[in-house]
Structure 1
C-alpha cells in the first residue's frame, strides 16, 4: 500500500473507495455462498441488491452537480480502480461525492472518468 495523504479530503475519498471495495467483496461472497447452497458452482446471476437503483430520468439540474465513485475490481486480481460518474449517469453503482470529493478523486491515479457520462466536463 502507498503512503496515505495528509489531508482529510483525500482521506475521505480513499475511505469511500475502500468501503465500496468491501461491499463488492461481500456481495461476491453472498453470491458464491448462495450458489453453493443451491448446488451450483457459478453462483446466482441475480443481483445481490447492494448497489443503489439506477437514477431516474426526472432528476433536477441541482442533482446533476453530484457525482458517484464506482469501484471496479481488477479481473486479474489486482487492486482495481475507481470510475467517476455524474449522478445521472446510466451506468449504475457507486457512492455519492460532493464537488470537493469529486475534484480530489479526479486527481487520483487509480480513478478514471466514465466514458459514457464524461463527468469531468
Structure 2
C-alpha cells in the first residue's frame, strides 16, 4: 500500500537495497584499487632494496662465482642479499668476479 508520498514501503526498500548494492560495489572497487596500489608499492620497496644490495652467483661448470648487484636480472637469487660490507669482502676474494653487465664494484671501492 502506498504511503503519503505515493511510494509503497516495499518499493522504498527495493530502492534502498539497490542503492546499498551500488555503494557496496563502489567500496569493493576501491578496495581492489588500494590492493593493487599496495602491491605496486611493495614491489617498488623490494626493487629499491635489491638495488642497494648485492648477490653472489655460485661457481658453475668451470666458471668462477660472480658478484651481481641485487637488481641484476642475469642471475635470479633465491637466497638473501649481501650488504655493502659483505659485497666488498666477496669482491676481494680471488675466486669471485664482478658481473660485466651490472658492474657491482662501482661505488664499492669508494667511501
TM-score, structure 1 normalization: 0.43
**Normalized per residue, which structure has more strand?**
1
**Normalized per residue, which structure has more helix?**
2
TM-score, structure 2 normalization: 0.47
Greater RCO between the two (CA within 8 Å, min separation 6)? 1
Considering only CA atoms, is the larger Rg found in Structure 1 or Structure 2? 2
